Structure 1
Amino acid sequence: MFEYGVRQEFWHSLALALILLGIMFLGGWALTVLLLLPSGITAVLGLIGYPFLIFALVIILVLSIELIVRVQIRQPIWINPHNWPELYSKVENLARRVGVEMPKIGIVQNPNFNAFTYGVISPRIVLYSGLVDRFTSEELDFIVSHELAHIKYRWVYFIYTLTEVVFRLIILFPASLIILLPLMIVAVPMRIAFLWFNREVEYLMDREALFVTKNPQAAASALAKIGLGVKMVDKMKVYDFQEDIYDRLANLLSTHPLIQDRIREIRRLTAYIV
């Protein structure tokens, strides 16, 4: 399933998140039937229709999230073999090595260091111009490979999106909080579990990119620059940072691991690079 393996924590976080999601779903189903029970036939319809209703809402909201992301992104310049042949060739080569089809690649004018992938049906990669301008070719290889790995395992992205859908449903229908109040006991730890899962996904994508590019130094340098910026990287050893309890607690609510933890994982995997 995973070409270069995966941390055990990935499976632990996924199992916990899906169990809690299942409890939310079954609990909501049971509450719906109980509330409709006095109405007789309506309860039967609720019993049958609840899964289909949830499925329809999930599909609609997943597509709406994708649409919102596309609207919010400043219109990128989509590269092709004619307007930027070098970068297009680089991404095409990396896509072949990762094992995915060549996606659409966009450049957004932004001095920050960032890149992201979006789209379940038609995935696309967006690179900030600051990253393209200031990163070395080898560092850019790692970042692009990381994003391509998101496309390779985009079913993982869909699983994480489910938790976003649950919370958006609560926002859209605040009255449901009264009805589903008992389930909120499960919703909060479910959210934390899915965030844990998403952090493990980032480790997985780093691993994939590392084994594709086979350049641990460039991988660590790229992550360090994202965390500190170009000028600070040479002055500070990111992987030697000492975190306090507040950093760790805050990271429980983060979608990404601490940069220094990601670099430490890169260094740990260096011994396995052939």
Structure 2
Amino acid sequence: MAEVFTRPNSPYGGARTAGAIDQGLRSFMLGTYNYMALGVAGTAVVVMLLMANPQVMAAIALGPMKWVVFAGVLGLGFFAPRLFFGGSDVVAHGAYWLYCALWGALIAPMVSLYVGMGLAGIVGQAFFIAAAMFAVTSLIGYTTKKDMTGWSGFLSMASIGLIIVMVGSYFFINDAGTSKMVSMGISAVVVLLFSVITAFETQAIKSMYIEQASYGNEAQLKRSSIFGAFMLYGSFVTLFIHILNLLGLASRE
């Protein structure tokens, strides 16, 4: 990165060198990944707590609460930019940790099912495969010179389409064999799609830092770091869920 970033209203006197931007970017991305890792750990704690309280988990998995939790996850995802950049640091942290907790409530029944079936090993396998895929695709997004900005519309529409297909298959496909094939197909597509989304989001976070750092807005940068963790966390947990589904379905053949 050879250029010098200049802004007429920058509190840094109008410019920051490329070296300063690069050093700050590394610290920023490290902070983002740390927030994400803590979010994943928090989700694991929620899963373990619910597994230790099967009545509460059953109420979430079998009752109308599952739709409330699902709507909460979608709602936070939709309103995330406003929550993170339109409020305070407290609001940003609250939205992030609530998001992680809601995901924990959503995936706890699935994890509990496989553990109860004596397939606890595939949960660990799914986690490490998801972590490896996430690391590789995030690195690609960080290092690639290709501008992925134009992919935003396609990735958004593909994600919405997959949600519609998943909800539709839940309500309208009753045959066990067909349901299994559709589930495997959806999960395979989701894994591929969110691998690309991870790279796209990493590049977007990197660009967001470069833009904001040139203005020297430290408060905004802190919220941007949490927002970046929010985006990457969502992609990671989605990869984990669908890799776990693929391994679980394959193990029961």
TM-score bin (small chain)? 0.3 to 0.5
Say which one has the larger Rg.
1
Q: TM-score, normalised by structure 2?
A: 0.32
> Which structure shows the higher helix fraction?
2
Q: TM-score, normalised by structure 1?
A: 0.30
Select the structure with the greater relative contact order (CA < 8 A; seq sep ≥ 6): 2
